[in-house]
Amino acid sequence: MHNFKHYSTLLVCFLLALFFGQPMLSQNTDGKICRSEEQMELLYQANPSSRAEQRILSRLVNSSEEIQRRDPGASYVIPVVFHVFGTTFNSGTVVNDALIKDALMKTNEDFHGLNAKYSTIAPPFDVIKTPLDVTFRLAQLDPQGNPTSGIMYYPEAGGMGNYDSPVVAQVAWDNSKYMNVYITRDLYNDGDYYNSGVAWLPDTYMTNNNTARVVYNGSYLGTNTDDNFRSILTHEFGHFLDLHHTFRGGICNNNPLDGDEVADTPSHINNSSGTNCQVIYNCLNQQINNENFMDYTDCYKMFTRGQVDRMVNALDNSPARNTLWTASNLAATGLDVELGPRIIASNSFFEERYLNDGVVESVIELMATEANFALAAGEYEEGLHYIANNVPVGMTMKISASNSTRAIVALEGISENHQAINTVSDLEIVFLDPMIEGGVSLLYADTLSNLVVNFSDVYTEACQPTIGYSGYTYISNVTFDGRSNETINNYFSDYTEELSYPVIPGATYPLSVTTNRGDGGDPDNLRIQVWIDWNSNFVFEDSELVASQAYNNRETDGDGDYTYTTDIQIPADVDLGKIAIRVMAHFVMGTDGDTACSYIDSGEVEDYGLNILDESTELTVEFSGNPKAVNFSEPVSFADLSIPDAGDSISSWLWTFEGASTPTSTDQNPKNIFYTEGGEFDVTLEVTTTNGKVGTLTKPDYIKSELRYCETSPDYGSYFSVNNVILEDISHNPGKSNYYDYFDSVTTDLAAGMTYPMTITSELGDGGINDYNRVKVWADWNYDSEFSESELLIDRLVSGEDYDENGNYTFTADILVPYGASVGKRVALRVIGHYEDGFTGPCGSFDSGNAIDYGIDIVSGVSGITALATSSSEEFSFTEPLVFTDRSSSSSAITNWEWTFEGGTPASFAGQNPPEITYDEPGIYSYSLTVTNAEGETGSYTGSV
């Protein structure tokens, strides 16, 4: 099954819940928690003054002026527009007008204290529960002043939860007039359909940029989820009105300015998800308000007095909110009167199609509301039923009846002028009496004004496809005319500059594409497709599809590879110059991959270049290297792209690689060239032809090499984190629930050949007591930009019984700087604390926890031998075997290992890797390791478990 990954993740969470009664991510089965705090930080990074604005607004809440001014009876109406991307959501749920209206009504009830659970609030909070008289209403007039439903539908798209999503402002309605709510299934465009919602607090920078918003997963709207979880929409609206999470900052104290900055919500370190609405207390023994909309909880019911004061303050005093509810804005958005009979347009835009050829395929649907159209079927006649003004030259407007309340407006023909500058923004439809039953005088307005026809400029780059998942099938090699490019899976790669293969019109060249099935299952059907942009318009038209090969994973070989080979015939009449090839490999599902710009569920896309040269071209020396920016352990592949004269051929190659560990090569396409020092380096290629011609090309500073470590980060926050690290000069509390880089700021000297104690404290956070977590530590001793397997220093299991009453666990382990470590260099020490969900290596994402890099300056260089061994656990159940690992180091090869295990079976072992050791009875036991090297030097280490 293709999406097995998701089901299996859910299954694991579900099983954890069954076995331990305390699920780690209880809302995971319904939807994940909101990342509002993290997204606010991204705003502050983009616009630092936003932090000051937020602080000033917070401070106003309790100022005497604001308290005096505050009108407890004030009521607010906020015009809202929903932008809905796709209509099908998780488990086949659907989002339509009725669902949105119902969800909005229920959120209004939440704010007004009208939900059924409002009368069942726990005593300490029942007395401070407070309604807010705010009503969120779908706008009735759009920014053009035309009647609207306040709900706009678009094709499926995602990512609006990312702070810098480009989609948001594109479709936004003026943020000073409308609250914009985006409905999508994939909040962060990462193929994860289980994030519930996210929102930003009031901020004028976002409002001015039309990016203020709530983003919400349609799977969790109204009746698409259970009655508790649908209140996450209320939670997000709370953020929009300036409320923080009640557990913000993970602190527990009585300072009203800490945490959520609201005095009457007791602070708490962890959210209340999974506590089943039981009464729970914070570290000060205060009962937590786990029925608050701004917690993550199983029982959403209320806001407090303090929270309502804070929301009123934002509504009154934030320039990003106080324009929304004014009388003039309610008039502008149609919320001050009943509009009566009206014609609503589904949207106000026509869009030129992607082919950029002046054709418009998008339509506008007209909906007669409290009125009827004259026809139930057939076409309306221009001049008789309506008049269209300002239609682009070359096009005609056509209106056809769907039924007596619906009609479709289309623009037919081809616009004569269709550059961006030709965009029309005053298209108008005037309805005439015969079109409306009872005549147009009944209507709120007889004209739809200021409709837009959007045209695009000629493209300068090709579209980027959207790819949901990685790992199922990917392109592992593309070979064109004998020049091959081996690649890993990274969604979309653009090699059009680096790998632009020379070709001559009329000639034929072999192309092979090799894919690897990755994690894909046997029954998966896949497809390899290739387009070539022959007419160089940056559009891969259907007519430019040059290869399409369907296959099944059962056809892959023992390594999971499948290779497809075809001939590419270059048309004799193609224009000279550079054009692009698109290679796509994808899992076949629905209409995925039917065009070169389609969404594909999983797979990979790679673009290459063709350089179409004149047949009479003289010897041209050209080459490329890939990648051009590397760390010390990434290989560079070079490709010769030279073209000999007609009738000649290249017979030898001489490459010179400045700064590389391989200084020269005579291969045509050298691979695995490493640059192990930082710098920018020249590359030179000299070619000699059969006819004795010699050509040379040098590209100065072509390859850039730098010490650069792989990226890593947790997918989720707050479950388990390392919170303190002590190693020589380092004594540090790192950030939690994320990746932090202290390579330059938190460092220590360590000497090669010396052993140091390293003390690490980790905390349980919001994780369940039955979760297994792990702390791992690596150091890049050999300064090659990589954390290799032999550079894993600590691998410590942390389980429930290890924690103290504060949820902390501290352990000390010895680490040994090897004799061969790179003296004089600063290398990275990487510490990762993670929930034990499969293997976590030093790179990539992992389930939850934190990752930290520190700097180690390696000093001195002595020779000798030092023994060191570690155990897989410090405290352990005596029924489980222990694993011991040799971590000794010597300046010459170690030739002998002697282990002893007091109380263990076996009690001794000769060799580097002892078997698992078992113990019959509980107790504290010592173990020892003695090592001998080729020089006859010995070292001993004794530890205990």
Q: Are residues 235 and 31 in contact, defined by beta-carbon separation less than 8 angstroms?
A: no
> Residue 437: how many CB atoms within 10 A of its CB?
15
* Closer of 188 and 884 to Zn ion (Cβ): 188
Give least dist CB 101 to Zn ion, A.
Answer: 24
Sequence-separated contacts (24+) of 697-700 with Cβ below 8 Å: 697/621, 697/622, 697/623, 699/623
Give least dist CB 541 to Zn ion, A.
Answer: 45
Q: Which residues contact 473 (CB under 8 A, 6 or more apart)?
A: 515, 516, 517, 518, 520, 524, 526, 553, 585, 586, 587, 602, 603, 604
* Closer of 34 and 775 to Zn ion (Cβ): 34
* Closer of 34 and 798 to Zn ion (Cβ): 34
Give least dist CB 904 to Zn ion, A.
Answer: 50
Amino acid at 510: P
Q: Are residues 684 and 696 in contact, defined by beta-carbon separation less than 8 angstroms?
A: yes
Which secondary-structure segment (H or E) carries 603? Answer: strand 599-612
Q: Are residues 866 and 758 in contact, defined by beta-carbon separation less than 8 angstroms?
A: no
* Closer of 300 and 653 to Zn ion (Cβ): 300
* Closer of 246 and 282 to Zn ion (Cβ): 246
877 dihedral zone (left: phi>0; alpha: psi -120 to 50; beta) = beta
> Residue 133: how many CB atoms within 10 A of its CB?
15
* Closer of 233 and 687 to Zn ion (Cβ): 233
Give least dist CB 198 to Zn ion, A.
Answer: 7
Give least dist CB 36 to Zn ion, A.
Answer: 4
Q: Using the CB atoms, write b or e for 36-63: b if 16+ within 10 Å.
A: bbebbeebeeeeeebeebbeebbebbbe
- Cα separation of 582 and 120, whole Å? 60
Which residues inside 862-921 make contact with Zn ion, applying CB under 5 A? none
* Closer of 251 and 410 to Zn ion (Cβ): 251
Distance of CA 408 to the CA centre of its chain: 37
* Closer of 295 and 771 to Zn ion (Cβ): 295
Give least dist CB 305 to Zn ion, A.
Answer: 20
* Closer of 251 and 613 to Zn ion (Cβ): 251
* Closer of 36 and 850 to Zn ion (Cβ): 36
Size of the site for Zn ion (CB under 5 A): 2
Q: Are residues 842 and 852 in contact, defined by beta-carbon separation less than 8 angstroms?
A: no
Give least dist CB 477 to Zn ion, A.
Answer: 45
Give least dist CB 243 to Zn ion, A.
Answer: 9
Distance of CA 629 to the CA centre of its chain: 23
- 496 binds Zn ion, rule: CB under 5 A: no
Enter the tokens of residue 711.
Answer: 């990226």
Give least dist CB 34 to Zn ion, A.
Answer: 3
Of residues 454, 387, 383, the one with CA closest to residue 423: 454
Partner residues linked to 696 by β-bridges: 686
> Which residue sits closest to Zn ion, CB atoms considered?
34
Q: Are residues 566 and 628 in contact, defined by beta-carbon separation less than 8 angstroms?
A: no
* Closer of 270 and 933 to Zn ion (Cβ): 270
Q: Which residues contact 71 (CB under 8 A, 6 or more apart)?
A: none
- Cα separation of 471 and 744, whole Å? 34
- Cα separation of 522 and 473, whole Å? 12
* Closer of 36 and 515 to Zn ion (Cβ): 36
First to last CA, the chain: 44
Of residues 881, 842, 841, 874, the one with CA closest to residue 944: 874
Give least dist CB 411 to Zn ion, A.
Answer: 43
Edge to edge, the sheet with strand 406-413 lists 342-345, 364-369, 406-413, 395-403, 378-379
Give least dist CB 932 to Zn ion, A.
Answer: 60
Give least dist CB 267 to Zn ion, A.
Answer: 16
Give least dist CB 929 to Zn ion, A.
Answer: 51
Which residues inside 913-942 make contact with Zn ion, applying CB under 5 A? none
Of residues 222, 232, 236, the one with CA closest to residue 97: 222
Site string for Zn ion, 20-59 (x = CB under 5 A): --------------x-x-----------------------
Site string for Zn ion, 542-561 (x = CB under 5 A): --------------------
* Closer of 216 and 540 to Zn ion (Cβ): 216
* Closer of 36 and 207 to Zn ion (Cβ): 36
Give least dist CB 156 to Zn ion, A.
Answer: 24
Residues lying near Zn ion in the complex (CB under 5 A) are found at: 34, 36
